Amino acid sequence: MILLMMLENLSASVADLWRDYKEVPIVICGGASDNRLLGEESRKRRKTLSTALTRRLLAPAILAAMLLALVLPGLALAKQDDHSDNGKGKVVGVMTRNLYLGADLGPVIAAENTEQVASASGAVLRDVIANNFPTRAKGLADEIRRTKPDLVGLQEVAYWQTTPITPAGEAVTIDYLKLLLGELNKGPGPNRYEVVVVQNEFGTETPADANNVPNDGPGGELANAEVLGKLLMRDVILARTGAGVHTWNAEGGNFKTLLELEVGGQPVAVKRGWTATDAQVRGSHPFHFVNTHLEAFHPLIRQAQAAELVAPGGPATSDLPVVLVGDLNSDDDTVEGADRLAYQVLLGAGLVERSTDDPLSCCINSPLLEVGKGGSVSDFDHQVDHVMTNDPSGITLERSEVTGLLPVNGFWDSDHAGLYSALRFQG
């Protein structure tokens, strides 16, 4: 703003000087002239300005040009950064990002007794540590900071904690949300992103042999278990700050239809759900933003959860236009059979796709994300992450891109790639 005021003042100064120039005496072959009209003979003579007056005229103009050279690129970047509508409707950036909880829980689910649970849980905790979320958070934050989505739907925002139950145990806490926000908001200036809503999903706490050392537990079935290992999964919506993003009516919930499992002989409900908020971005019309993570391991449960989303009064219904993002674990043409059912439910409810499937974004086929541990770009061979809307004429796709397809800092950012879409809100 200050630079723009300086430019305005300089422009006015140059204009004043030009008016002065038209009025000042003109040196003609060493003689002075007043403001009388020059005769034909006189006009043919060479007219020159004095050196001092030339400097007086040119100095502000040169300074103005230099300031413009500095300011205009910044203004152009600011305009691009602000998702300018260019007179064609407002552009809103949205993203869905599955963070990967950090391990495969399958061996824990398959365990038949407490001893097996402790052994499998310990292996899970070691994988979580090996998958190094503090490092992965840097890459994830870079994806978000580069694309600058106005609203971000996050899934598998894990909270891991170990509590020692013998002196051999080590207390560890890994909070994915805290670590990611720390990277997103690192550096000078105000925070770039803030939490709109958090919804707790599946959680469990089991004895674990985290250090893989025998006989350092309390004994019996827990002979090798030196800690209790806790996992809490969360779905989260983030909003970009300082970019004209306004949210209200934030809420979250769990689905009624849940997958029921037995872990070590004990029943466990795999909670999944959704988060939502109403929003308006830089003068766009208000809309309802929904983030969800549907069941991964049972297609009929997944289908029922999709139906809950779009049932009358469901979280993906509103008097406002709806934008739905998330890990749907379903698609129409890159998966087969029953894995298509959930996506078909959403299409049947009038939702349409507003993201790219070129390239595909799912998924690294290895529980370990360190480079050289089995993951490959060729693993990204289907789509389960989506951006959709129920207002196809009012919300169109400006552009879309897949992020995080290559490892950085020695790790893949997640087993999923990220999915960003710039949506044009018409009118």
The pLDDT tens digits for 368-405 are 999 999 999 999 999 999 999 999 999 999 999 999 99
∠236-240-241 over CA atoms, to 5°?
A: 125
- Angstrom distance (rounded) from CA 246 to CA 196: 10
Q: What is the pLDDT of residue 202?
A: 97
Buried b (16+ CB within 10 A) or exposed e, 273-295: bbbbbbbbbbebbebbbbbbbbb
Q: What is the pTM of this model?
A: 0.81
Mean pLDDT of 319-329: 98
The CA-atom distances, in angstroms, between 25 and each of 15, 49, 53 are 18, 9, 11
- Angstrom distance (rounded) from CA 22 to CA 318: 66
- Average pLDDT over all residues of the chain: 85
What is the CATH number assigned to the segment(s) 82-425?
3.60.10.10
Q: What is the pLDDT of residue 22?
A: 38
Q: What is the pLDDT of residue 263?
A: 85
Q: Is the pLDDT of residue 292 over 70?
A: yes
Q: Is the pLDDT of residue 314 over 50?
A: yes
Q: Is the pLDDT of residue 68 over 90?
A: no
Mean pLDDT of 302-306: 98
Q: What is the pLDDT of residue 88?
A: 56
Mean pLDDT of 252-257: 98
Nearest Cα residue to 160 out of 198, 203, 201: 203
Q: Is the pLDDT of residue 188 over 50?
A: yes
Q: What is the pLDDT of residue 265?
A: 84
- Cβ–Cβ contacts within 10 Å for residue 270, how many? 21
Q: Is the pLDDT of residue 114 over 80?
A: yes
- Cβ–Cβ contacts within 10 Å for residue 26, how many? 18
Q: What is the DSSP annotation of 113-139?
A: SHHHHHHHHHHHHHHHHHT-HHHHHHH
The pLDDT tens digits for 199-224 are 999 999 999 999 999 999 999 999 99
- Angstrom distance (rounded) from CA 26 to CA 47: 7
Mean pLDDT of 16-38: 34
Q: What is the pLDDT of residue 83?
A: 56
Q: What is the pLDDT of residue 32?
A: 33
Tokens of 194: 């803030």
Q: What is the DSSP annotation of 162-208?
A: EEESSTT---EEEEHHHHHHHHHT-SSSS-SEEEEEEEEEEEEEEEE
Q: Is the pLDDT of residue 186 over 80?
A: yes
Q: What is the pLDDT of residue 20?
A: 40
What are the sequence ranges of the domains in the chain?
2-80, 82-425
